[in-house]
Amino acid sequence: MRRALLYIVICFISYSAFSQDTIAIAPVAKKDSAKTRTYSINGTTGYSLLLGHLQGVSYGSPKSGYSSFEGYNFGVEGTCWLSNRFGIGGMLTNSSFYAAQTGLANMAIGYQQSMFADSAKVQALTKYNFYNLFVGPYFSFPLKSKKFTVDIRAVGGLTFVSTPDFDIVVVNLGIPYPFAQIRSTAFSYGFQAGGGIRYNFDKHVGIKINVDFYYTDPNIKIVNSNFPSNSGREISDYHQSVMMLHFNFGISYKFGIKSVQNIAKY
Protein backbone atom coordinates (compact mmCIF):
# COMPACT_ATOMS: atom_id res chain seq x y z
CA MET A 1 0.00 0.00 0.00
CA ARG A 2 2.78 2.37 0.89
CA ARG A 3 4.58 1.55 -2.36
CA ALA A 4 1.43 2.19 -4.39
CA LEU A 5 0.90 5.55 -2.64
CA LEU A 6 4.55 6.51 -3.23
CA TYR A 7 4.23 5.58 -6.89
CA ILE A 8 1.11 7.79 -7.27
CA VAL A 9 2.89 10.77 -5.65
CA ILE A 10 5.93 10.38 -7.94
CA CYS A 11 3.70 10.19 -11.02
CA PHE A 12 1.84 13.35 -9.93
CA ILE A 13 5.09 15.30 -9.39
CA SER A 14 6.45 14.14 -12.75
CA TYR A 15 3.26 15.16 -14.51
CA SER A 16 3.32 18.63 -12.87
CA ALA A 17 6.93 19.19 -13.90
CA PHE A 18 6.21 18.07 -17.45
CA SER A 19 3.19 20.40 -17.61
CA GLN A 20 5.34 23.38 -16.47
CA ASP A 21 7.97 22.59 -19.12
CA THR A 22 5.25 22.37 -21.73
CA ILE A 23 3.90 25.80 -20.76
CA ALA A 24 7.42 27.28 -20.80
CA ILE A 25 8.06 26.23 -24.38
CA ALA A 26 4.59 27.04 -25.65
CA PRO A 27 4.48 28.84 -29.01
CA VAL A 28 5.15 32.59 -28.78
CA ALA A 29 2.11 34.75 -29.36
CA LYS A 30 2.52 37.64 -31.77
CA LYS A 31 0.77 40.96 -31.70
CA ASP A 32 0.47 43.38 -34.60
CA SER A 33 1.49 46.97 -33.82
CA ALA A 34 0.69 49.82 -36.26
CA LYS A 35 3.01 52.83 -36.39
CA THR A 36 1.90 55.96 -38.29
CA ARG A 37 4.37 58.20 -40.13
CA THR A 38 3.06 61.68 -41.01
CA TYR A 39 3.74 63.43 -44.34
CA SER A 40 2.70 66.77 -45.81
CA ILE A 41 2.52 68.14 -49.36
CA ASN A 42 2.27 71.86 -50.14
CA GLY A 43 1.69 73.86 -53.29
CA THR A 44 2.84 77.50 -53.16
CA THR A 45 2.92 80.60 -55.34
CA GLY A 46 3.58 84.25 -54.74
CA TYR A 47 5.47 87.49 -55.23
CA SER A 48 9.27 87.71 -55.47
CA LEU A 49 11.30 90.84 -54.74
CA LEU A 50 14.75 90.89 -56.34
CA LEU A 51 17.71 92.35 -54.43
CA GLY A 52 21.26 93.04 -55.59
CA HIS A 53 22.95 94.05 -58.84
CA LEU A 54 20.82 91.90 -61.14
CA GLN A 55 18.19 94.64 -61.11
CA GLY A 56 20.76 97.27 -62.09
CA VAL A 57 19.91 99.27 -65.24
CA SER A 58 23.10 101.31 -65.76
CA TYR A 59 24.68 100.80 -69.20
CA GLY A 60 28.12 101.74 -67.91
CA SER A 61 28.18 99.15 -65.11
CA PRO A 62 29.09 95.53 -65.96
CA LYS A 63 27.23 94.48 -62.80
CA SER A 64 23.88 95.56 -64.24
CA GLY A 65 21.60 92.67 -65.13
CA TYR A 66 18.67 94.75 -66.48
CA SER A 67 16.13 92.65 -64.62
CA SER A 68 12.89 93.89 -63.17
CA PHE A 69 12.94 93.89 -59.36
CA GLU A 70 9.45 92.35 -59.24
CA GLY A 71 8.76 88.77 -60.20
CA TYR A 72 6.81 85.68 -59.23
CA ASN A 73 7.49 82.17 -58.00
CA PHE A 74 5.72 78.85 -57.67
CA GLY A 75 6.56 75.35 -56.52
CA VAL A 76 5.79 72.23 -54.56
CA GLU A 77 7.28 70.89 -51.36
CA GLY A 78 6.97 67.75 -49.28
CA THR A 79 7.95 66.88 -45.72
CA CYS A 80 8.38 63.66 -43.77
CA TRP A 81 7.63 64.47 -40.13
CA LEU A 82 9.86 62.49 -37.77
CA SER A 83 8.04 63.94 -34.78
CA ASN A 84 5.25 66.44 -34.12
CA ARG A 85 7.69 69.33 -34.45
CA PHE A 86 10.57 68.18 -36.65
CA GLY A 87 10.82 66.81 -40.16
CA ILE A 88 12.99 66.54 -43.25
CA GLY A 89 11.63 68.05 -46.43
CA GLY A 90 12.40 69.28 -49.90
CA MET A 91 11.09 71.69 -52.49
CA LEU A 92 11.12 72.13 -56.25
CA THR A 93 10.56 75.79 -57.17
CA ASN A 94 10.90 78.34 -59.95
CA SER A 95 11.36 82.11 -59.72
CA SER A 96 11.00 84.32 -62.82
CA PHE A 97 11.77 87.95 -63.61
CA TYR A 98 11.16 89.86 -66.84
CA ALA A 99 13.72 92.31 -68.14
CA ALA A 100 13.11 95.86 -66.94
CA GLN A 101 11.82 98.21 -69.62
CA THR A 102 13.94 101.01 -68.18
CA GLY A 103 17.00 98.79 -68.49
CA LEU A 104 16.23 97.93 -72.12
CA ALA A 105 15.81 101.62 -72.95
CA ASN A 106 19.11 102.50 -71.24
CA MET A 107 20.87 99.67 -73.07
CA ALA A 108 19.56 100.90 -76.42
CA ILE A 109 20.72 104.48 -75.75
CA GLY A 110 24.11 103.18 -74.61
CA TYR A 111 24.68 101.14 -77.79
CA GLN A 112 23.51 104.01 -79.97
CA GLN A 113 25.91 106.48 -78.36
CA SER A 114 28.91 104.15 -78.14
CA MET A 115 28.58 103.15 -81.81
CA PHE A 116 27.71 106.69 -83.01
CA ALA A 117 24.61 105.23 -84.66
CA ASP A 118 21.37 106.87 -85.72
CA SER A 119 19.19 104.59 -83.57
CA ALA A 120 19.19 101.37 -81.61
CA LYS A 121 16.58 98.96 -80.29
CA VAL A 122 16.89 96.27 -77.62
CA GLN A 123 14.29 93.67 -76.72
CA ALA A 124 14.29 90.68 -74.35
CA LEU A 125 12.67 87.54 -75.75
CA THR A 126 12.76 85.46 -72.57
CA LYS A 127 13.03 85.93 -68.80
CA TYR A 128 15.45 85.35 -65.97
CA ASN A 129 14.59 81.95 -64.48
CA PHE A 130 15.84 80.32 -61.30
CA TYR A 131 15.00 76.62 -60.88
CA ASN A 132 15.73 75.21 -57.44
CA LEU A 133 15.90 71.76 -55.87
CA PHE A 134 16.40 72.23 -52.12
CA VAL A 135 16.29 69.92 -49.06
CA GLY A 136 16.65 70.56 -45.35
CA PRO A 137 15.03 70.60 -41.89
CA TYR A 138 11.46 71.72 -41.24
CA PHE A 139 10.09 72.79 -37.85
CA SER A 140 6.46 73.08 -36.79
CA PHE A 141 5.15 74.73 -33.60
CA PRO A 142 1.39 74.47 -32.96
CA LEU A 143 -0.16 77.41 -31.12
CA LYS A 144 -2.59 77.08 -28.24
CA SER A 145 -5.65 77.39 -30.46
CA LYS A 146 -4.45 74.28 -32.41
CA LYS A 147 -5.87 75.88 -35.55
CA PHE A 148 -2.71 77.90 -36.14
CA THR A 149 0.82 76.54 -36.57
CA VAL A 150 4.13 78.37 -36.97
CA ASP A 151 6.35 76.74 -39.62
CA ILE A 152 10.10 77.34 -40.04
CA ARG A 153 12.44 75.88 -42.66
CA ALA A 154 16.04 76.19 -43.82
CA VAL A 155 16.84 74.41 -47.08
CA GLY A 156 19.62 74.40 -49.64
CA GLY A 157 20.78 72.62 -52.74
CA LEU A 158 21.06 73.00 -56.50
CA THR A 159 20.04 76.05 -58.54
CA PHE A 160 19.83 76.29 -62.33
CA VAL A 161 19.85 79.83 -63.73
CA SER A 162 19.00 81.05 -67.23
CA THR A 163 19.24 84.59 -68.61
CA PRO A 164 17.03 86.28 -71.20
CA ASP A 165 17.80 86.54 -74.90
CA PHE A 166 18.72 90.16 -75.63
CA ASP A 167 18.27 91.03 -79.30
CA ILE A 168 19.95 94.30 -80.33
CA VAL A 169 19.59 96.14 -83.63
CA VAL A 170 21.68 99.25 -84.28
CA VAL A 171 20.83 101.33 -87.35
CA ASN A 172 23.40 103.62 -88.96
CA LEU A 173 22.90 105.43 -92.29
CA GLY A 174 19.80 103.31 -92.80
CA ILE A 175 21.71 100.04 -92.50
CA PRO A 176 20.70 97.70 -89.60
CA TYR A 177 23.39 95.87 -87.66
CA PRO A 178 21.81 93.06 -85.61
CA PHE A 179 23.63 91.24 -82.80
CA ALA A 180 22.56 89.43 -79.66
CA GLN A 181 23.33 88.27 -76.15
CA ILE A 182 22.00 84.72 -76.31
CA ARG A 183 20.25 82.91 -73.45
CA SER A 184 22.98 81.67 -71.11
CA THR A 185 22.79 79.17 -68.26
CA ALA A 186 24.68 78.07 -65.17
CA PHE A 187 24.40 75.72 -62.19
CA SER A 188 25.07 77.00 -58.70
CA TYR A 189 24.47 76.34 -55.02
CA GLY A 190 21.60 78.16 -53.36
CA PHE A 191 19.71 78.26 -50.09
CA GLN A 192 16.46 79.56 -48.70
CA ALA A 193 15.29 80.17 -45.14
CA GLY A 194 12.11 81.58 -43.69
CA GLY A 195 8.91 80.95 -41.85
CA GLY A 196 5.19 81.41 -41.90
CA ILE A 197 1.83 80.71 -40.33
CA ARG A 198 -0.49 77.87 -41.29
CA TYR A 199 -4.23 77.75 -40.58
CA ASN A 200 -5.60 74.22 -40.27
CA PHE A 201 -9.19 73.66 -41.39
CA ASP A 202 -8.98 70.11 -40.03
CA LYS A 203 -6.28 67.50 -39.39
CA HIS A 204 -5.55 67.21 -43.13
CA VAL A 205 -6.10 70.49 -45.02
CA GLY A 206 -4.70 73.95 -44.31
CA ILE A 207 -3.64 77.23 -45.92
CA LYS A 208 -0.36 79.02 -45.23
CA ILE A 209 1.56 82.23 -45.83
CA ASN A 210 5.35 82.33 -45.90
CA VAL A 211 8.19 84.85 -46.11
CA ASP A 212 11.57 83.49 -47.25
CA PHE A 213 15.03 84.87 -47.96
CA TYR A 214 16.74 83.35 -51.00
CA TYR A 215 20.42 83.45 -52.05
CA THR A 216 22.51 82.07 -54.89
CA ASP A 217 25.83 83.04 -56.49
CA PRO A 218 25.96 81.79 -60.10
CA ASN A 219 28.90 82.31 -62.44
CA ILE A 220 27.21 82.66 -65.83
CA LYS A 221 29.25 82.44 -69.02
CA ILE A 222 27.53 84.84 -71.39
CA VAL A 223 27.08 83.74 -75.00
CA ASN A 224 27.31 86.61 -77.51
CA SER A 225 26.47 86.47 -81.20
CA ASN A 226 27.78 88.77 -83.95
CA PHE A 227 28.82 91.51 -81.52
CA PRO A 228 30.64 94.39 -83.29
CA SER A 229 34.04 95.37 -81.96
CA ASN A 230 32.92 98.95 -81.27
CA SER A 231 29.73 98.03 -79.41
CA GLY A 232 31.09 99.52 -76.21
CA ARG A 233 29.59 96.85 -73.98
CA GLU A 234 30.25 93.15 -74.47
CA ILE A 235 30.12 90.93 -71.36
CA SER A 236 31.63 87.45 -71.44
CA ASP A 237 30.64 86.41 -67.93
CA TYR A 238 28.33 87.56 -65.15
CA HIS A 239 29.22 86.59 -61.58
CA GLN A 240 27.09 88.46 -59.07
CA SER A 241 25.25 87.32 -55.96
CA VAL A 242 21.48 87.11 -56.38
CA MET A 243 19.16 87.65 -53.43
CA MET A 244 15.38 87.60 -53.22
CA LEU A 245 12.52 87.88 -50.79
CA HIS A 246 9.58 85.54 -51.44
CA PHE A 247 6.07 86.31 -50.16
CA ASN A 248 4.01 83.18 -50.72
CA PHE A 249 0.55 81.74 -50.28
CA GLY A 250 0.01 78.00 -50.28
CA ILE A 251 -2.30 75.06 -49.65
CA SER A 252 -1.10 72.18 -47.48
CA TYR A 253 -2.30 68.60 -47.13
CA LYS A 254 -1.15 66.36 -44.30
CA PHE A 255 -1.67 62.61 -44.17
CA GLY A 256 -0.37 59.52 -42.36
CA ILE A 257 0.82 56.12 -43.58
CA LYS A 258 0.65 53.15 -41.21
CA SER A 259 3.34 50.48 -41.12
CA VAL A 260 2.44 47.18 -39.36
CA GLN A 261 5.09 45.51 -37.21
CA ASN A 262 4.90 42.11 -35.48
CA ILE A 263 5.86 42.30 -31.80
CA ALA A 264 6.53 39.09 -29.90
CA LYS A 265 4.50 38.62 -26.72
CA TYR A 266 5.57 36.06 -24.10
What's the CATH number where 66 sits?
A: 2.40.160.20
What percent of the chain lies above the pLDDT cut of 90? Answer: 69
On whether residue 211 sits in a domain, the answer given is: yes
The pLDDT of residue 261: 56
From the CB of residue 155, how many other CB atoms can be counted at a distance below 10 Å?
A: 23
Domain tally for the chain?
1
On whether residue 12 sits in a domain, the answer given is: no
The pLDDT of residue 16: 45
Q: Does 260 score more than 80 pLDDT?
A: no
- In eight-state DSSP terms, residue 111 is H
- Domain of residue 175 covers 37-265
The pLDDT of residue 95: 97
The pLDDT of residue 30: 53
On whether residue 132 sits in a domain, the answer given is: yes
Three-state SS string over 35-74 comes to: EEEEEEEEEEEEEEEEECHHHCCCCCCCCCCCECCEEEEE
The pLDDT of residue 227: 83
Residue 155's SS3 state is: strand
What percent of the chain lies above the pLDDT cut of 70? Answer: 83
The pLDDT of residue 6: 40
Q: Does 26 score more than 50 pLDDT?
A: no
Q: Does 150 score more than 70 pLDDT?
A: yes
On whether residue 247 sits in a domain, the answer given is: yes
On whether residue 10 sits in a domain, the answer given is: no
